[in-house]
Structure 1
Amino acid sequence: MSTTPTEVLAFPNIKAIISDNGTAEVTVAGNSRLVPAGQTLQDLRDNALALVVAEAKTLQRPVRVRIEDPEGHGELIVHPGGNVESVSYEPRPGRRRTAAPASTPAAAAAEVTDTTPAPTPAVKPEPAQPTVERQPWPPLAAETALDVAPAAEAPQQAAAADAPVTRRSLKETSFLVSAPVLEPATQGWRGTLTRLGFRMDPSEEELSEREDIRTVSQHWPGPRTIAVVNRKGGANKTPTVVMLSAILARYSGAATVAWDNNESQGTLGWRTEKGAHDRSVLDLIDSSTELLSPSTNAAEIAKFVHHQTADKFDVLRSDENEEGDHEVTAEEVDIAHQVLTRYYRLVIMDSGNTARAANWRRMIDHTNQLVVPVTAIEDRAEAARLTLQTLESRGGHDAELARNAVVIVSESTDAKRSMTGDALKRARAEAQRIADGFEPFVRAVVRIPYDPALVNGPIRYEALQPATQRAWLAAAAAVAKGF
């Protein structure tokens, strides 16, 4: 069944580029993968599509891919099953489309000379390497196919029918069971019956939780940087940084650091566990040459970060010198980011309230996934909207981050303990109204219930109520899907 472009998510950002020199690459969320060489331009197209199909299979859904080759550029929708739909294709001026190979369904579009059609090439068995069905890039529409006599199809079809039957390669099969075995239920009454000896399948809720855990447990090639932003103070930025760091570190086991990228003095250090030293990001920057040296041991980074013993991530604090007036520059953000991405796979950045600050803007340049927290209060929601609008107006990378952002709406903490009955219902309704307002403009919106453990003092994952833990797991999974 065909899929319209609006129904296919725009993330991750996938590009397939074939150069004039006969090389090709596929980039997925900024990570480049070389395409196996081919003898023809069509071979390179098929090999590139095979990599995109593998990505679609991993995500278990269709993906969008921007394509560019010596003959033109456009956009495709690639399905996990290998079929490809053309969204657009614009040939380069003066260049003609390469005809489809004779072994493809579009063989009728063979290229024509000024006199007679080219001889029908011999049918060759499909190579085993590309897992995608060989087909033109993009599939030729009937109205754009080259002028060829319909009779040209007959010899090719006859040749295909007369081709000898060949045995399959042993490489194409396996006796191993590839489908994972569904583990029995562990939660609720189903889990109780399982423990009593009656094997029960998990509920939809438990399956959903397992999928979120699987998502946040992944490892990605290369480091990933998350920026948590909102121009308004009190929007829950620091608790969001702590919770995302705790969940991603706990489940993935990846080295994770939470970095307070405030212009001067931030609050991340106040809400997390302090180590046996007072060092901050400025000390790390001063020691960057040593830390980036190939001879430096990986454990040396512990001199500058504060380890969270329960939640298994590290914190890089902002400068807390009350007499200091140093503001972090864009160049210093580059240095600190280079150091941290050498020692950590995940970098989660807290931020200040000034989108015009040099360190704020440079943080965005390094960001792979944007997270916008907001409490269910009008001015916080409006500040979040303006933050996204600012990034969108800048275009390019900033605008793409805004479109693929994850908005996390936390129920208001104002006088929450005294709320009962209608007042509590109104607070929850306001949170839902704000969440619904962001829904059409970003990739995902997640709601977080009120939890007193997030209001004051150091934040610990285990101190949260089960419903809050589950909500934050869903939020972390939504963020991880953007990697």
Structure 2
Amino acid sequence: MMETQALDFPKINAVLRTNGTGEVTINGTSHAIEAADEAAVLTDALRLITETAVQLGRPVRVSTTDPDGQGLIIVSPDGVVSEATPIKPASRREDTSSVRGAPAPESAKAIAGTAPSPVAPPTEETPAQPAGAGPVTFGAAVTDATAQEAVPAATPAAEEPGTRRSLKDTSFLISAPVLQPATRGWRGALSRLGFRMDPSSEELAERDDIRTVSQHWPGPRTVAVVNRKGGANKTPTVVMLSAILARYSGAATVAWDNNESQGTLGWRTEKGGHNNSVLDLIDSSQALLSPSAQAAEIARFVHHQTADKFDVLRSDENDEGDHEVTAEEVDIAHQVLTRYYRLIVMDSGNTARAANWRRMIHHTNQLVVPVTAIEDRAEAARLTLQTLESRGGHDEALARNAVVIVSESTDAKRSMSGDALKRAKDEAQRIAEGFAPHARAVVRIPYDPSLVNGPIRYDALQPATQRAWLAAAAAVARGF
């Protein structure tokens, strides 16, 4: 009843921001809100909206906007909040087909597991059922007499032994998980105040990505991050995928710099209390693979990332050395790492013809192709996929099942004008759309200064960047 009484007048919009500010606009009159935290902003916003409902003597409809999307709520003069349920309006033809027995059109539903997308503004709301009312029926009312005729009296199970169900087919356990209330934006703030709200489609999608990257899989998995062009974001991609998968799944994870000579993964990650690299691990492989070896012994060769919970196996950083990793050495190192880790994420050099590069591909379960939104990086990524696809067999399957990660260009980003920023985003979108028909998944990553220089830390990223990398890691994990 409350929702049916809420009219389109007055037009009320409420904005909730993450920085402790908000805004309520009533028929064009804006009321800015500043408070100590999100809960205080929400309290002030609800006070303004409730006062309007009291003046009108009926519930009011409010369009809400927050970083998680848009929504529609109903606020009564008593301060009671409920969520309006948008439905798709039926056309005249659809109404006719419903009368003839064809299925009525369903309301639009959010699909969990897809990447976040804008929420379309709601159109109409289904009338709320009055509190205490009986079940809704569609058709003629049923009198007591007809009800007695339509519903036969219950018969004891003993009189109809043929209909008795087996206890093996019966369970009192609830198989479907209980949907937890919203935790973010207007919905989350209202839930914390006691008005239970379902999560938005964006929050449901994020929960699905978290569930995906939190899974454990049987046997070790190897991810290869490849692009034959330097500056394509390979190393940041290795770090971010390793960090997210290690954080959420708790699986022992190692990032391995498989550059044929000297790579940069060690420069962008935390250094341990030693200088050992992949060459030292290979030299000690016999001891590490012996039956008496203990799991903690691997710490002498890898560099632990204390915040992001994964280890790094560095490439040889001896400037005076000229050793290039061979295919046989890749086999040895991979054998050792699969003994101690469930997940291996491999950085790579720029030479697809190198022996260690090709042997890495032999051990790979999931291919990831990073690319910055610059045409020569994108072209190099295309050629990398084309090379693998042309080899057939395992290499071709990896290319067809690849995940492409497109990052916005970092070139002179901080000095860009608004038009230049838009062009950079448009270029990233163009490149992403170009790869979409040729890869299993394509994920876009926004620009973030924390990825440009220095050690990379997941916690240093902006929330939007963290969300994008979570979606990328989930796309990779779905290939396991």
Alignment match of 1:442 (pick from 439, 443, 465): 439
- Which residue of structure 1 aligns with residue 260 of structure 2? 263
Q: Does 1:174 align with 2:174?
A: no
Q: Give the residue type in structure 1 aligned to 2:342.
A: R
- Which residue of structure 1 aligns with residue 359 of structure 2? 362
- Which residue of structure 2 aligns with residue 422 of structure 1? 419
TM-score of the superposition, structure 2-length normalised? Answer: 0.66
User: How far is 1:419 from its partner?
Assistant: 1.1
SS in 1 for 2:404: strand
- Which residue of structure 1 aligns with residue 325 of structure 2? 328
Q: Give the residue type in structure 2 aligned to 1:385.
A: R
Q: Deviations over 1:427-450 (max 9, x none)?
A: 100000000000001100000000
Q: Deviations over 1:375-432 (max 9, x none)?
A: 0000000000000000000000000000000000000000111112211111100000
User: How far is 1:165 from its partner?
Assistant: 6.0
Q: Deviations over 1:147-175 (max 9, x none)?
A: xxxxxxxxxxxxxxxxx969654333311
- Which residue of structure 2 aligns with residue 117 of structure 1? none
SS in 2 for 1:210: helix
Q: 1:203 to 1:326 in 2, by over 3 A?
A: same
Alignment match of 2:377 (pick from 380, 396, 405): 380
Q: Give the residue type in structure 2 aligned to 1:299.
A: A
Distance 2:213 2:166 in 1: 37
Matches within 5 A, 1:63-462: 169-462=166-459
Q: 1:331 to 1:165 in 2, by over 3 A?
A: farther
Q: Deviations over 1:1-23 (max 9, x none)?
A: xxxxxxxxxxxxxxxxxxxxxxx
Q: Give the residue type in structure 2 aligned to 1:451.
A: D
Q: Give the residue type in structure 1 aligned to 2:476.
A: V
Q: Does 1:469 align with 2:436?
A: no
User: How far is 1:370 from its partner?
Assistant: 0.2
Displacement over 4 Å in runs of 4+: 164-169
Structure 1 gaps, min length 5? 1-59, 62-163
Q: RMSD of aligned C-alpha atoms?
A: 1.4
SS in 1 for 2:187: helix
Distance 1:350 1:339 in 2: 17
Distance 2:170 2:213 in 1: 31
Q: 1:166 to 1:359 in 2, by over 3 A?
A: farther
- Which residue of structure 1 aligns with residue 136 of structure 2? none
Distance 1:170 1:231 in 2: 61
SS in 2 for 1:370: strand
Q: Which protein is bigger by CA-based radius of gyration?
A: 2
- Which residue of structure 2 aligns with residue 478 of structure 1? 475
Paired residues in the alignment total 322
Q: Give the residue type in structure 1 aligned to 2:305.
A: Q
Distance 1:200 1:249 in 2: 31
Q: Give the residue type in structure 2 aligned to 1:404.
A: N
SS in 2 for 1:482: coil
User: How far is 1:248 from its partner?
Assistant: 0.2
TM-score of the superposition, structure 1-length normalised? Answer: 0.66
